[in-house]
Amino acid sequence: MNVSLEILRQNETTGNKPEYRTYTVEVEETDRVLDALMYITRNIDGSLGFRRSCAHGVCGSDAMRINGRERLACKTLFRDIVDEPPWTREPGEKATQTDEKRSNGQPTIRIEPLMHLPVQRDLMVEQESFFAKFRSVKPYIIPDEEPAEREHIQSQEERALFDDATKCINCAACYSACPILDEKPDFLGPAAIVQAARFVRDSRDKGLEARIDELDNPNGIWPCENHFECTRVCPREIKITKLINLTKREIKKFREERGETVHDGQS
- Same domain for 59 and 85? yes
> Percent helix, strand, coil in the chain (nearest 5)?
30, 15, 50
- Same domain for 53 and 148? no
Is residue 180 domain-resident? yes
Q: What is the CATH number of the domain that holds 161?
A: 1.10.1060.10
pTM of the predicted model as reported, rounded to 2 decimal places: 0.91
Beta bridge partners of 72: 63
- Same domain for 67 and 136? no
Q: Does residue 263 surpass a pLDDT of 80? A: yes
Structural domain including 92 reads 2-124
Is residue 262 domain-resident? no
- Same domain for 105 and 176? no
When divided into structural domains, the chain yields a total of: 2
pLDDT digits (tens, 9 = 90+) for 138-193: 999 998 877 667 777 899 999 999 999 999 999 999 999 999 999 999 999 999 99
- Same domain for 135 and 244? yes
- What pLDDT does 104 receive? 58
Q: What is the DSSP letter of 164?
A: G
- Same domain for 208 and 175? yes
E strand residue ranges, the chain: 2-11, 16-26, 63-66, 69-72, 87-88, 96-97, 108-112, 119-121, 124-125
pLDDT band at 54 (very low <50, low <70, confident <90, very high): very high
Whether the Cβ atoms of residue 119 and residue 112 lie closer than 8 Å to each other: no
- What pLDDT does 87 receive? 74
- Same domain for 187 and 225? yes
- Same domain for 27 and 94? yes
Of the three residues 71, 106, 124, the one that is the final residue of a domain is 124
- Same domain for 41 and 54? yes
- What pLDDT does 265 receive? 74
